[in-house]
Structure 1
Amino acid sequence: MRRFLATFAALVASPLAAQPATPPKLIVVVSVDQFSADLFAEYRGQWTGGFKRLASGAVFPSGYQSHAATETCPGHSTILTGDHPARTGIIANNWIDQAARAESQVYCAEDETVPGSTFRAYTPSAAHLLVPTLGDRMKALNPESRVVSVSGKDRAAIMMGGHTTDQMWFLDPFTKNRFVTLAPRAQMPIPVPVTRVNAGLTKLLGAEGKAQKLSPQCSNRDRAVPLSPTLSVGDGRFVRKAGDVDSFRASPDLDRATFALAGDLAHDMKLGQGSSTDLLIVGASGTDYVDHRYGTEGAETCIQLTALDGLLAELFKQLDRAKVDYVVVLTADHGGHDIPERNRDHALSDAQRIDPGVTAGKIGVQIGKEMGLTGPVLRYADLGDVWVDNAVPAAKRADVVARAKALFMAMPQVATVLTKAELMATPPGTRPVELWTLAERARASFSPARSGDFLVLLKPRVTPIAVPTPGYAATHGSPYDYDRRVPILFWRKGMTGFEQPNSVETIDIAPTLAALIGLEVPAGDMDGRCLDLDAGAGSTCRR
């Protein structure tokens, strides 16, 4: 009893250290594309590897990509800039710039000013990202810091890596069979890890993809759901023919290759073992491709997430063996919604696919006939932002917007239409992010220079895919919580873990990491705020 009382008194007098006092030597940032907070909650009790380790740290199960444009490029632009898309300039994956070139459509991660670059055969670039990333700030403060960004998607690697990475590699967006880098670096020597992983990819893609194992915890999700007389999902095992690169992307093999490259680069470059803090960024794109093709609730997603749990564990073991002092943050660029056919089977009777008539193209044709206008009248990249064609006379532009709004609002699946003027008059949201209005959510991804003349938002549970096809059955992009809410997990050896169930935002990640390494960010320079990762009376936001 005396020993117990002495131990108890010592604990009261000297509380457990909640967070190591020195800055970490390596920051590891993992973004799992289309990893919703709902999936995190659903699988949390089943993980035994990397996710389990992360869940022992600081857990924010209600992180928010707070904006309405819940797509890959805007979401990734928030994670390491600390800014909403309204400030990063990345309003969507694609948008219309009628002054850019004849075809008008622009990709978020391209430089359309490069001669010969087209929307379908673009030159990858960070040119559209208007703010610095954490890596950019680290390099500006100390050029000895190394920044490495690796992803299955160019837009993920670019938007998180920024403008001044030491190494940036992503799956070739055109051939999809090798990792490539930005054009200005293409003439530089290829690192040995890239050569090694690309050789492995060549061998992997040259062989048939064998059926992957269905674990016991995935068996209850193993049910075929018919989408058409010739297409069903839900019971797949990722079998593929040799050379089928699209099926390779929509399988756990994409993340296996991505993590292999990230781990090999970290090892060969000795990240975290120098005099300054380094940054390793991993964009795990596989879950997004899997969920688009198969939906979020089938055996395919279960196999994918189980594999990802193991890949995270292997990366952490590799860093542990190198005795690197590292901090990890894992989050997502957006969530996702399951296929409506399975949602209806799972008690959501109002889940539906969009009516094929709900398109800006058809609305534009009708307005053109009514007003005697020739040409397309309306331009759009995806249903969401819509632009009035520059050929429409100035005197009729307001009438076109008003008529388009009325026609869209008459459609049962449309929640609201917000004009540019209405969004410019909407102040940024200041309440807890889950309470924001649709207009406030849209305002967070609105840029007067890039956004459309009006924005169409669908009602909840309306999937904007009229006819499912192989590879594209489910999606995201809505302003609702199943697409906005994502987990944010921090872990570092020696920290005392805790859980904060209230809402935070992905824009809070960059200022939190900056504070951990003593990188000062001028007041007002980021939209986000620092999250205190010290579970006790101390604060990681004040070093």
Structure 2
Amino acid sequence: MKKITFLLLPFFLLGILTVDAQRKNRKNHDPKESQNRPKLVVGIVVDQMRYDYLTRFWNHYGEGGFKRLANQGFNCKNHHFNYAPTSTGPGHASVYTGTTPATHGIIGNHWYGKTEDKMVYCASDDAFESVGTTTDDGKMSPHRMLTTTITDQLRLHTQMRGKVIAVALKDRGAVLPGGHTANAAYWFEGGDTGQWISSSYYMDALPEWVNNFNASGKIKSYKKAWTTLKNISSYLESGPDNNAYEGLFETEIAPTFPHSTPNLLNKEKDFEILKYTPYGNSITTDFALAAIEAEQLGKDGIADFLAISFSSTDYIGHKYGVNSKEVQDTYLRLDLELDRLLNTLDAQVGAGQYMVFLTADHGAINVPAYLKDEKVPAGYLDNEKMKEDFTNFLKYRYGTTDILKNVSNNQIFLDHKIIKNLDMGLDDVQEEIAAEILSYDMIDKVYTGYQMWQNEYTSGIPYILQNGWHQKRSGDVLYVTKPAHISYPRTGSSHGTPMIYDTHVPLLFYGAGIKKGSTAHRTEIPDIAPTLAVMLGTAFPNGTTGKPIVKMLE
């Protein structure tokens, strides 16, 4: 018996060593961070959300929305866009690519296409057909975005097994975050249809669950009066309800609550109007929740990604302005939508099994007319006067206006062939035109394309402009208006500049792998995607210029 035991001893020891090796091997291949990787990432972009909307309305928020994200997650308090123009297309592209327009190529919502010799739209693509509608509203794709997104990298990392779904009222708010490889991107067609649609870039026909949602009557149920969530007298964080700085709905004679115009109440047509109410955000949440359930997001061991953009905040901000009670009410209602979304994620995916980040695609300026009445330097560009003066300058200096191709996004595009025929140097012409533009009263700073090409700026306005300047797509002269001076109607707010009111936005991380805390160190929009890549264990998007947010990852 002892002999048999002795003979078996080596096999027993070998078994112990093998088990120990397996444990070590499993430990080496299952690092601690992989245990904290989320089953589902939910990216939330709130269109036109200034950072101070988080703090200004804080006491009105409940515990389950913005406060839950900020108190139980990580708050980047000094978060900025590091480029201009600050608008929706470039904003969404930059959040998800981890870089700026200088690299990903989305230099505006619309821009002058040099090769096409016409204005182009950031998401349009006639190579594809609309899905779910007979209009051209679905002829979209991300083909103008030159780099990959974090959503692309997740798809590639998982051999296309991880799902990516993108949802927004605006087509560009879904197409660009979804990246080049998304399973689906959906956006809302208003008009007289009021339905979610897509593009043949993603699918041949809408899934059954989308058709069911469109036919459910949910969207029609939001054609109702817009009243305040709370007693309007408690909205002390915004200006008076009736003022001269806000736009009007169709038949209104004053911009006051309740908003209950005929088309808002009509359940059979003009669903576009819902975008200008908080109900547009509610419709977005409804559809996102339907996607979570129907697509079984976060249900297996392979990470999925849901990109959501809340767009009504932008429509309402443009119409009513930063200081309006409409904006305040919209954010209080959005807080409830976030609460509803997080509670559903808890139930469907599991608390601690998903991760959320929330940011914005740009900020907004307070209405200049209001600022001016409050004795703050502000104003509006006299575009007709500038156009007249500039036209006269071109005729006098060059003998023709044909040298000018286009003016858009605060950039001037010149005809390089004509300049060559005039036997002039492009850099000299750029400099002459820059000097002329700088002489105009409302212009604060001017830079040339030659300067953008030859220099490497590391701070200030030129740094922000250079990050938004693409060598092949951008203009020859870039100009910046005086602070708080914009080209816009005298009601409502706008955005697009390199100024702080357009660049300072929130960034909140919450959920799986996120520690509680905050930082006042500067973070920038391109930092989001590489931070997500570190957390997901994927490669960085291929144009990444941002850096992981170490303060949160330590």
TM-score in terms of structure 1 length:
0.84
Deviation of 1:202 after TM superposition, in Å, equals: 5.3
Percent of aligned pairs sharing the same letter = 25
User: Aligned equivalents of 1:233 and 1:60: distance in 2?
Assistant: 39
Matches of 1:412 and 1:373, distance apart in 2: 24
Residue 330 (structure 1) aligned to one of 355, 358, 374: 358
1:466-485 alignment to 2 at 5 Å? 467-468=489-490, 473-485=492-504
Find the structure with the greater CA-based Rg.
Answer: 2
Which structure shows the bigger proportion of residues in helix conformation? 2
Q: Specify the SS of the correspondent of 1:363.
A: helix
Consecutive unaligned residues of structure 2, counting only runs of 5 or more, are 1-31, 131-135
Contact 1:197 1:257 in 2 (8 A): no
Q: Is 2:311 the counterpart of 1:285?
A: yes
Deviates more, 1:52-61 or 1:89-98: 89-98
Q: Which moved more, 1:266-275 or 1:193-202?
A: 193-202
Deviation string 1:141-191 (CA, Å, 9 cap, x unpaired) is 112100010011111111111011112101237767222112334532434
8 Å CA contact retained: 1:360, 1:379: no
The structure 2 residue matched to 1:151, chosen from 165, 168, 186, is 168
Answering whether residue 204 of structure 2 is matched by residue 181 of structure 1, we say no
**Does 167-176 or 146-155 show the bigger shift?**
167-176
The 2-side partners of 1:428 and 1:173 are apart by: 43
Corresponding residue number in structure 1 for 2:120: 106
Q: Which one-letter code corresponds to 1:239 in the other structure?
A: S
Q: Which residue of 1 aligns with 2:44?
A: 30
Describe how 1:367-382 pairs up with structure 2 within 5 A: 367-368=394-395, 370-375=397-402, 377-382=404-409
Secondary structure class of the residue paired with 1:184: coil
Q: How many residues align?
A: 500
Q: In 1, are the aligned partners of 2:38 and 2:512 still within 8 Å (CA)? A: no
Whether contact under 8 Å (2:403, 2:419) holds in the other structure is no
Kindly tell me: are residues 267 and 359 of structure 1, through their superposed partners in 2, closer, same or farther at Cα, counting changes over 3 Å?
farther
Superimposed CA distance per residue, residues 429-465 of structure 1 (whole angstroms, 9 cap, x where no aligned partner): 2xxxxxx221111010110100011111111111221
Paired letter, 1:321:
A
Q: Which residue of 2 aligns with 1:52?
A: 67
Structure 1 counterpart of 2:332, from 299, 306, 323 = 306
1:323–1:402 distance in 2 versus 1, CA, 3 Å: closer
* Runs of 4 or more above 4 Å deviation: 18-21, 112-116, 173-176, 227-234, 358-362
SS in 2 for 1:392: helix
Q: 1:363 to 1:175 in 2, by over 3 A?
A: farther
Alpha-carbon shift at residue 39 of structure 1 (Å): 1.9
Shift of 1:131: 0.7
Task: Give the distance between the partners of 1:340 and 1:224, measured in 2 at CA.
Answer: 17
**How far is the alpha carbon of 1:291 from its aligned partner?**
0.4
Please tell me the residue identity of whatever aligns with 2:357: V
- Find the aligned partners of 2:109 and 2:56 in 1 and give their Cα distance: 28
Alignment check: 8 A CA contact 1:364 1:376 kept: no
Secondary structure of the corresponding residue to residue 486 of structure 1: coil
- 1:462 and 2:481 aligned: no
Determine if the alignment matches structure 1 residue 166 to structure 2 residue 183: yes
- Identify the match of residue 88 of structure 2 among 64, 67, 72: 72
2:509 is aligned with 1:490: yes
* RMSD, aligned CA: 3.0
Q: Give 1:351 shift.
A: 1.8
DSSP-derived class of the 1:54 partner:
helix
Mapped to 2, the partners of 1:127 and 1:456 lie a distance apart of 28
- The one-letter amino acid paired with 2:496 is G
Does the aligned pair in 1 maintain the 2:178–2:184 contact within 8 Å?
no
Matched, 1:344 2:372: yes
Counterparts of 2:247 and 2:335, CA distance in 1: 35
Partner of 1:223: 241
Rounded Cα–Cα distance in structure 1 between residues aligned with 2:450 and 2:65: 46
Q: Which moved further from structure 2: 19-28 or 59-68? A: 19-28
Name the CA distance, whole Å, in 1 between partners of 2:143 and 2:387.
Answer: 28
Aligned to 2:474: 451
1:416 maps to amino acid: K
